[in-house]
Amino acid sequence: MSDAFDVGILGAGPAGSTLGALLAKRGFKVICFDDERRPELLVGESLLPTVVDLMRRLEIEDRVAKFSQFKPGVAFVHRDGQRLDFLFPHGVLGKTPNYSYNIPRPEFDNLLRDRAGELGVTFVKHRASVEKGSDGREIQLSPDTMSVVPELNGKHPKLLVDATGRTRAVAKALGLSAKKGDRNDVAYFAHYEDFDSTAMTEGQVVISILEHGWSWRIPLPGRLSVGIVIDKDIAKQHGDTAEERLESLIDSQPILAGPGKGRKRVTEVKTYTNYQLISERSHGPGWIAAGDAFGFVDPMLSPGLFMAMHMAELLDEKVFAGGPKVLDQPEKLAPKLEKVKAEMLDWHTSWGEIIEYFYDGRMFSMYEAGTKLREAYGKWQLPSLMEKHLTANITRMVSGVTTRSRYGRGLVNWSTKHLVWDTQPPEHYRVRTSKTPVPEPKDEPAMA
């Protein structure tokens, strides 16, 4: 192999495989380092409708559908009985498909890897190591990796992509700092049989606000993924092991205990600490970071996998659309990479805002106010039409279609301040931690 690879990708998860596939379609010579270690369970099993567009671009939707569960929407169920159902009706999401999929992650990740291979990406079974660089590179493959990977033929790729997820290989090698979130949560989850999802429609994801923390129920073929995200201090009160804690937490929550009465756990229990992080940098001379290696916002609303794949898509379209020759002009790459970083930061900010509406209770307060508007004014009165318009905008935002829309974000913010009255306060609906005071509920609030 006489010529060096154009791009070397560290990690074959969704970000790495998606970017590799897209670059290969543009004629880049891509090598991807993957140790092929796949855990049985991974978070990120529920996809947003916006991911379907990218599946179609990669020509894999039919293959995804064969091993996945069709997803028509998501429901939010509060501990006091309030329920918000966001289905994806025709027309509301514009040209974006009005559905998505719940996926077994190992199968989905393997499919992305296989597709990248079909398009020409060279995969090497090796966990690549990196070190500070030389000869104009800020980071480079270590001598050990260069020597044990014959496919490199002793020639370093022109560009390295860090797609190592939470490992953040390049950031750690360079000592880069990151802005972390302020939640102190831990997630326990497993797959179950005979556990009721309480979905309104088959395949609908159900997110429940618990006495403390929140849970997800994601329907998969033949089983249900059940997870609880809760303050670490409270988790410690429910046993010493992950298995003890998850089972005890389910049994202690009325909203889960009933549906899970006859449940049978069919996998091990996995533990994840809540990961909210944005790296101080996304690129430098000779390298870029993609997906979780750059940042992850929060598991609520399932934006993580979309964000990883979308960042790969942005890099392909806004940085590498000119083909391999763009790598010969590194001075022109940096401004384009900065624009991608700015757009991804806006995505993180936008998702953070709408997720916070669920965490702090304002979304349920708006829902209560909207319900009263419909009941008081009927279907076609102006207040009810306003509520319908607001609901459609929120649906588009939580589906990933208009999450960054200035109009949508402004509308929701304005509504929380001016369309909510005589309802339970947001504090009543918020996701509680061990330090959250429990407010006294209002008695039968009435319309003014």
Residue 89 maps to a domain: no
Task: Give the end of a domain, one of 245, 273, 301.
Answer: 273
| Of the residues 205, 240, 273, the one at which a domain ends | 273
Together in a domain, 124 and 141 = yes
Q: What is the mean pLDDT of the chain?
A: 92
The pLDDT, as a whole number, for residue 238 is: 97
Q: Looking at the structure, do residues 39 and 24 belong to the same domain, yes or no?
A: yes
At residue 380, the pLDDT reads 59
Same structural domain for residues 49 and 156? yes
pLDDT surpassing 90 at residue 3: no
Measure Cα distances from 40 to 43, 124, 134, 274, 398 in Å: 10, 21, 39, 19, 28
In this structure, is residue 85 part of a structural domain? no
* CATH number of the domain encompassing residue 126: 3.50.50.60
Same domain? 365 vs 338: no
Query: Does some domain include residue 224?
Result: yes
Which range among 205-214, 234-243, 270-279 shows the weakest confidence by mean pLDDT?
A: 270-279
Instruction: Give tens-digit pLDDT for 13-72.
Output: 999 999 999 999 999 999 999 998 888 888 899 999 999 999 999 999 999 999 999 999
pLDDT at 225: 98
Residue at 79 is within a domain: no
pLDDT at 443 over 60: no
* Residue 379 sits in the same domain as residue 328: no
> Which CATH number is 218's domain given?
3.30.9.100
pTM of the predicted protein model: 0.93
Mark whether 31 and 131 lie in a shared domain: yes
- Residues 268, 281 within the same domain: no
**CA torsion 226→101→312→207, rounded to 10°?**
-40
* Residue 409 resides in a domain: yes
Give the Cα separation of 415 and 81 in Å (integer).
23
Flag whether 246 is in a domain: yes
Tell me the pLDDT band of 444, cut-offs 50, 70 and 90: very low
Domain end residue (candidates: 273, 292, 317): 273
Do 141 and 22 lie in one domain? The reply is yes
Q: Which has the minimum average pLDDT: 123-132, 160-169, 174-183?
A: 174-183
Provide the domain count of the chain: 3
- What percent of the chain lies above the pLDDT cut of 90? 79
- Indicate whether 18 belongs to any domain: yes
Say if residue 313 is in the same domain as residue 258: no
Range 218-237 average pLDDT: 96
Q: What average pLDDT score do residues 69-88 get?
A: 93
Report the 3 state secondary structure along the chain: CCCCCCEEEECCCHHHHHHHHHHHHCCCCEEEECCCCCCCCCCCCECCHHHHHHHHHHCCHHHHHHHCEEECEEEEEECCCCEEEEECCCCCCCCCCCCEEECCHHHHHHHHHHHHHHCCCEEECCCCCEEECCCCCCEEECHHHHHHCHHHCCCCCCEEEECCHHHCHHHHHHCCCEEECCCCEEEEEEEEECCCCCCCCCCCEEEEECCCCEEEEEEECCEEEEEEEEEHHHHHHHCCCHHHHHHHHHHHCHHHHCCCCCCEECCCCEEEECCCEEECCCEECCEEECHHHCEECCCCCCCHHHHHHHHHHHHHHHCCCCCHHHHHCHHHHHHHHHHHHHHHHHHHHHHHHHHHHHHCCHHHHHHHHHHHHHHHHCCCCHHHHHHHHHHHHHHHHHCCCCCCCHHHHHHHHHHHHHCCCCCCCHHHHCCCCCCCCCCCCCCCCCCC
Question: How remote is the C-alpha of 182 from its chain's centroid?
Answer: 18
Q: Please tell me the least confidently modeled range out of 135-139, 162-166, 441-445.
A: 441-445
Residue 162 region by backbone torsions, left for phi larger than 0, else alpha for psi between -120 and 50, else beta: beta
State phi, psi for 217 to the nearest 5 degrees.
-130, 110
Over residues 210-231, the mean pLDDT reads 96
Same domain, yes or no, for 293 and 150?
A: yes
Q: Which two tokens stand for residue 263?
A: 């449940």
Do 250 and 144 have their domain in common?
no
Q: What is the pLDDT of residue 1?
A: 41
- Structure confidence by residue, pLDDT tens digits, 321-373: 999 999 998 889 999 999 999 999 999 999 999 999 999 999 999 888 887 77
Which one, of 33, 37, 16, 288, lies nearest residue 152 by Cα? Answer: 33
R_g of the chain, CA atoms, integer Å: 23
Q: Which domain holds residue 232?
A: 185-273
* CA neighbor of 406 nearest in space, from 355, 346, 318, 365: 346
pLDDT-wise least confident of 128-142, 316-330, 404-418, 420-434: 420-434
Confirm whether 335 is domain-assigned: yes
pLDDT beyond 70 at 442: no
- When pLDDT is averaged across residues 88-99 and rounded to a whole number, the result is 90
Residues 189 and 242 in one domain: yes
pLDDT at 446: 39
pLDDT at 315 over 70: yes
Higher pLDDT, 260 or 421: 260
Residue pointed to by tokens 């942005």: 314
Q: Closest Cα partner for 357 from 306, 299, 407, 431?
A: 431
